Amino acid sequence: MDDLDWNQLRAFYTTAVAGSLSAAAREIGLTQPTLSRQIAALEDSLKVTLFERIGKRLVLTETGQQLLEHVRVMGDAAVTTRLSASASAAAVEGPVSISATDGYAAYILPDIIARIREAAPQITVTIIASNKLSDLRRREADIALRHLRPGDPDLIGRLARSSAAGVYASRGWVERHGLPREPADIVPHLIGFDDIEAFTAHLRSLGIPAESSDIRLISGSSVTVWEMVRRGMGVSFMLEEIASRTPDMVRILPDLPAFEVPLWLVTHRELRTSRRIRLVFDILIAELARLG
């Protein structure tokens, strides 16, 4: 372990995040054979198997998943150190627009934007709070936070974090209604997200027997839904990192199947040539990975 090569670790990390050798090779500017050799050398030095090949995809083994968590911390620390040590960062200037869901834009991004302002005060940041996907090819945004992996070859995507959503209620709601014992107990109290048919279909897949006609409060805005939950008007889903930053909220039905939510950071390939976009992208990756 003392002789681990950072280039091999970077090859492993980038491939694990990108999901394929071809995507990873494009991202770090290496050939696929070189990347493959570096990963093989890392596996040989550790005497473990890090990836399994399923069809055309590379899937992390359990050991690979454990190593990824350690390497992610190292990689994010390296990015933050480089950004903090860069005397030229403050000289980078120009506009950068970031698209995110309204919930992430309201509750998570402000602290990260403060970090960007500290590192590069001459960059003008525009936040596009929208639950619709921004078209990066048409430059509707420079960087987008998405819950889906990009499929367009002209886009670069990095998995920033894997989150989870739970069902939450305010402490006042719990005091009035008690803690639900069964998934069916929350159906009359659910606050839904538009589109309601897709929302209730997902609820049923989790074992919550809800139909669209059961939901009496609906919004396409996660900020609005969360505010109604916070005021004790009902219960709904929210990402753990947002719920943990809201006082007096209670996780209910903790035994429900995990609702995993990946968060991808996506940008156009202009990232390769734009210092300001690269700088903002790197800070976002580092700070999102650190979220508790």
Q: Which domain holds residue 98?
A: 88-292
Give the pLDDT of residue 34. 86
Residue 184 has pLDDT above 90, yes or no: yes
Residues 158 and 237 in one domain: yes
Token pair belonging to 194: 């538009």
DSSP secondary structure of 164-186: EEEEEEEHHHHHHH---SSGGGG
Is the confidence at residue 51, as pLDDT, over 60?
Answer: yes
Q: CA–CA separation, 40 vs 91, rounded Å?
A: 40
Same domain, 165 and 128: yes
Q: Are residues 111 and 224 in the same domain?
A: yes
CA distance 287 to 79: 10
Span 103-115, pLDDT tens digits = 999 999 999 999 9
In this prediction, residues 269-288 reach a mean pLDDT of 84
| Cβ–Cβ under 8 Å, residues 21 and 36 | yes
Tell whether 102 and 15 lie within a shared domain: no
- Give backbone dihedrals phi and psi of 79, rounded to 5 degrees, phi first: -60, -50
Higher pLDDT, 99 or 76: 99
Number of domains in the chain: 2
193 and 163, same domain (yes or no): yes
pLDDT band at 1 (very low <50, low <70, confident <90, very high): very low
Same domain flag for 55 and 129: no
- Three-state secondary structure call for residue 117: helix
Place of tokens 């473990």: 48
Do 227 and 152 share a structural domain?
yes
Considering the domain architecture, whether residues 45 and 176 belong to the same structural domain is answered as: no
CATH classification of the domain holding 163: 3.40.190.290
The pTM is what?
Answer: 0.69
Burial class of 34 by CB neighbour count within 10 A (0 to 12, 13 to 18, 19+): middle
Q: Could you say which of 84, 105, 137 is where a domain stops?
A: 84
